[in-house]
Amino acid sequence: MNDLLQIGRCPLFVIAGPCVIESAELCLTVARHMRDVCARLGLAYVFKASFDKANRSSVASFRGPGLEAGLAVLAQIKREVGVPVLTDVHETSQVEAAAQVVDVLQVPAFLSRQTDLLAACGRSGRVVNIKKGQFMSPVEMANAVEKVRSTGNQQVMLTERGTFFGYGQLVNDFTGLAVMKETGCPVVFDVTHSTQRPGALGNASGGEPRYSPLLARAAVAAGVDGLFLECHPEPAKAKSDAATMLDLSTAAAILAQAKQIAEVRKGWK
């Protein structure tokens, strides 16, 4: 995992891409752009996109191309762009096929307590990224980590994406980042999902992406190892999470600031 994420050799690693695979062309555009941005900044880069969004607000929402077609696109990204890739899995039956293609298997936040899914991801031998459930405390994530490690797989990282709160927006507890680091896992901050307003649009989540730069700066200053963000050439046209999506230029600006803060925090400047 350290080789994949270049932990200790670069200021931060970055997980970035569109929410869902809309087309191979879109994914290639985003992957090439973010690869080049991260290369200029000296940051490790992992492309992310979902082949299926199984927890959309509305049954009519776009979910993605499905397992087989989606994995074909992710394989193309690896082959043509030359970067590691991440995707999420929702069922144990998806793990084996996904693990043959991707470098990182992601357990979605709503499934972060699912023992069988966590164990299946662990047995795959791939790096496992567990997103903290919006309903879980940072302390509870140690149990999720242990479910993966019980398979003998020590390659686990944790991602914070905000906690449900009473006035309709997600709230970040930055002390929770330090708590999760006590597991010994790399900790990632999800910049874009943290700005969500769940269900705010009735049949979709709303969001406040203008706060993404602020949250990213705070998380890096607090000591995270990596940033997770979703970006798109035309955010308003994104087929999933358009309300929180960042355009490519904004994503690049956030990472440039984050690098500076990470280097100061680590004493590299």
What's the CATH code of the domain at 120? Answer: 3.20.20.70
- Flag whether 225 is in a domain: yes
Q: Please report the pLDDT score of residue 169 as a whole number.
A: 83
pLDDT for position 112: 97
Domain that holds residue 138: 14-265
Residue 211 lies in a domain: yes
For range 7-34, the mean pLDDT = 97
pLDDT at 207: 84
Q: Would 8 be classed as within a structural domain?
A: no
The verdict on residue 1 lying in a domain is: no
User: What pLDDT, on a 0 to 100 scale, did the predictor assign at position 161?
Assistant: 95
Per-residue model confidence (pLDDT) at position 177: 97
pLDDT value at position 53?
A: 83
Lowest mean pLDDT among 37-46, 152-161, 201-210, 231-240: 201-210
Residue 164 lies in a domain: yes
Please count the structural domains in the chain. Answer: 1
What pLDDT does 230 receive? 97
Residue 39 lies in a domain: yes
pLDDT on residue 52: 94
CA dihedral 166, 134, 140, 130 (to 10 degrees): -170
Residue 3 belongs to some domain of the structure: no
In percent, the amount of the chain with pLDDT more than 90 equals 86
> pLDDT value at position 200?
52
Among 196-205, 218-227, 235-244, the range scoring the smallest mean pLDDT is 196-205
Identify whether 134 is part of a domain: yes
Going by pLDDT thresholds of 50, 70 and 90, the confidence category of residue 238 is very high
